[in-house]
Amino acid sequence: MSVDPLAATIIKYMKRKGLTLSTAESITGGGLSESLTSVPGSSAVFQGGLITYSDVSKTKFFGITKKMLTKHTAVAEEVATMMAQQARAQFKTDYSIATTGVAGPGRAYGQKAGTVWIAIDSKFGTSAISLALAGDRTDVRHATIESALAAFTRILIP
């Protein structure tokens, strides 16, 4: 895998500032973590990540209740936010990025393929964005990774 320029920018900046990062992934299935760890020197920044692909694992590792999943589904701002907050707390990092969504094909949780939530958490608070992406399963997952990196870069670097 080649090094993603956004991931390289993030790692370089965070390393220089002495900041740490963790991830909580669902739709991206570890792809976001892979993108970050493909950058040489990323071990100084990236502390770890969790792939919680199923609702059961979201409950087990992030404390997302069945009530929350019933009310909002796993593809919701509330779930992405809690994933990011819990990953940051568990890994004790300065920042955390979470991804959840529907890669397709077809619908899940009553939402169509390409529906994505990305959340970024830090001591300054949590930001979440919703995306409606197009393409096949691979396209949606790749676009989610790139969108998460781009959103995080905008938040991180003044």
Reported as a single tens digit per residue, the pLDDT across 15-72 is 999 999 999 999 999 999 999 999 999 999 999 999 999 999 999 999 999 999 999 9
CA–CA gap between residue 95 and residue 121 (Å, rounded) = 6
Q: Is the pLDDT of residue 1 over 80?
A: no
- Report pLDDT digits (tens) over 78-105: 999 999 999 999 999 999 999 999 999 8
How is residue 41 written in tokens?
Answer: 């020197």
CA–CA gap between residue 115 and residue 144 (Å, rounded) = 10
- Report pLDDT digits (tens) over 131-145: 999 999 999 999 999
Q: Is the pLDDT of residue 110 over 90?
A: no
Instruction: Indicate the average pLDDT of the chain.
Output: 96
CATH superfamily of domain region 5-156? CinA-like (3.90.950.20)
Return the domain boundaries, the chain: 5-156
120 bridge partner residues? 97, 127
Measured CA angle at 142 (ends 86, 91), to 5 deg: 20
Helix (H, G, I), strand (E, B) or coil at 156: helix
10 bridge partner residues? none
Q: By the 8 A CB rule, do 48 and 22 touch?
A: yes
CA–CA gap between residue 22 and residue 47 (Å, rounded) = 6
Whole-model pTM above 0.85? yes
